[in-house]
A = this chain, B = another copy of it.
Amino acid sequence: MAELINREDAIAQVHDWLVAGELAQAVAYLRELHPADSAEILAGLEPEQQSLLVDQLDPEELAGLFDQMDGEDAAEFLQHFNYQDLAAVLDEMEPDSAADLLGELEPQDASAVLDQMEGSEAVAPLLTYPEDSAGGIMNVAPPALRRQMSIAEAFDFIRQHYRDAEEVFYLYVVDRNDCLIGIVNLRALILAESHQTIEDIMLRDVFTIRVDMDQEAVAELFSRYDLLALPVVDEEGRLVGVITVDDVVDVLQEEATEDIYHLAQVGPSSDIFSSVPRSLRNRMPWLYVNMGTAIVASTVVAFFESTIATVALLAIFMPIVATLGGNAGNQTMTIVVRSLALGEMSLGNAWKVLRREMVIGLLNGIALGLSMGLVAWYWKGNPMLGLLVGLALLANMSVAAINGVLVPTTLKRLGIDPALASSIFVTTVNDMVGFGVFLGLATYFLAWLR
């Protein structure tokens, strides 16, 4: 039965061993664990302790650890290596991971390390693709079959080229120009008759990914069509790499986390173990933006200061109207942002969504407006107050529904990540409308409220 280790306990344990000088014990423990766990533990130690352990591990073990670290941890971990040692470690890594790691270095450092590597020719081409493109997440193309090969030749080819390969999903078939012409799965090869050729058993109708496709679109394809692996081709149709579903799982987790954090107005590289300065960098700027928008919204309240001075109880109901409008707008906005991210909603059907959300906003507004109006009437014994609260809520929730659709779709149309900036705009507009409608109505009907 699989058991997840408790990361914090494990870090404390290794820390204690190192303080007690029991280096061998700590190394033995790390070797015993899955590299994903050892990598997390290492990342949680002090730099001096990391350095002690790094000296005890061989390049292959270190390669396994780097493979499992996220970008920021790996970048911090790199400081323990000189060019030569790092090149030895990178030579043990999968080329796509090695390229990601080199991407964390300054360009001149990366090229110095690359010069020392034996396998630099597999890694260097990967460095040219943007990190968040298909090229950035793909692995280099495996050795490809030719269509005229016999089944026996294909078996020999696999023995020769795939002995140390990672998991193999499919074999790829290319023509003399390296253009992809088909794929063969291992099961088909095992089931094939000895007189057949690769051409007889290959699938020709191959779904391919262009090397410059965005990683989010790649992830959407895998998830929509339940794919395991897809070949990546350049603009001439030449096979340049392969993306497997396990690379996509990481992208999906990353993108979901990024959207969740953006909706909550936190920088995407936050996590619970970030240093205090990094956390402040990820959060404080957003709070200042919010301060600015809150001040803008409060100018609406300031405009009605004399109304509040006359009927102070308005200040009690004002936040309720603003909060409920904000919540309703946030519901709509979140569904729209997630649907845009999952590819379920497009700009083409935004109008249909808008019409539906307006109906929902109106119905929510009628229900909540009526309820809250009755509460206000009963609480303060003033039917006019109840009517104003109800009408303000109706207006605010209807506008909130419209905002919740229009803001993210407009941002998407402008090429801005809707998750990133929607909350700020939706909240600000909702607050202003909520305060404005409620206090405006109250000012107009002031005589009935006194």
What is A's interface to B at a CB cutoff of 8 Å? 1-2, 4, 6-9, 34, 36, 155, 158-159, 162-163, 165, 167-169, 185-187, 189-191, 207-210, 213, 217, 220-228, 245-246, 248-250, 252-253, 256-257, 259-261, 263-266, 270-273, 276, 279-280, 283-284, 286-288, 290-291, 294-295, 297-298, 301-302, 305-306, 308-309, 312-320, 322-324, 327-328, 330-331, 333-336, 338-339, 342-346, 348-349, 352-353, 356, 359-360, 363-364, 367-368, 371-372, 375, 427, 431, 435
Contact = CB atoms under 8 A, between A and B. Distances in A.
A291 B167 contact: no
Name, among A287, A317, A353, the residue most crowded by chain B CB atoms within 10 Å (CB to CB).
Answer: A287
B431 A253 contact: no
| Majority DSSP secondary structure for residues of A touching B | helix
Contact of A284 (B6, B223, B265, B367): B367
Given A371-B288, A431-B319, A338 B257 contact: yes
A371 to B, nearest CB: 7
A271 B344 contact: yes
A294 B434 CA distance: 14
A257 B335 CA distance: 9
A264 to B, nearest CB: 4
Given A252-B252, A272-B345, A298-B320, A287 B368 contact: yes
A319 B435 CA distance: 10
A191 B301 contact: no
20 contacts: A2-B213, A4-B217, A4-B224, A8-B348, A158-B191, A186-B186, A260-B263, A260-B338, A272-B335, A279-B356, A287-B328, A287-B364, A288-B371, A290-B324, A294-B320, A302-B313, A306-B312, A308-B312, A308-B315, A314-B315
A334 B249 contact: no
A251 to B, nearest CB: 10
A20 to B, nearest CB: 22
Nearest to A345: B272
Name, among A4, A34, A207, the residue most crowded by chain B CB atoms within 10 Å (CB to CB).
Answer: A4
Nearest to A434: B319
B276 A360 contact: yes
B162 A187 contact: yes
Given A272-B336, A348-B8, A165 B187 contact: yes
A118 to B, nearest CB: 24
A249 B226 contact: yes
A63 B298 CA distance: 57
A4 B223 CA distance: 12
Contact of A276 (B185, B301, B315, B356): B356
A159 B191 CA distance: 6
A257 B344 CA distance: 13
Contact of A327 (B190, B287, B371): B287
Contacts of A302: 313, 316
A322 B237 CA distance: 57
B168 A288 contact: no
A272 B344 contact: yes
A252 B263 CA distance: 19
A190 B158 contact: yes
A260 B250 contact: no
A133 to B, nearest CB: 14
A319 B338 contact: no
A69 to B, nearest CB: 13
Contacts of A163: 191
A442 to B, nearest CB: 12
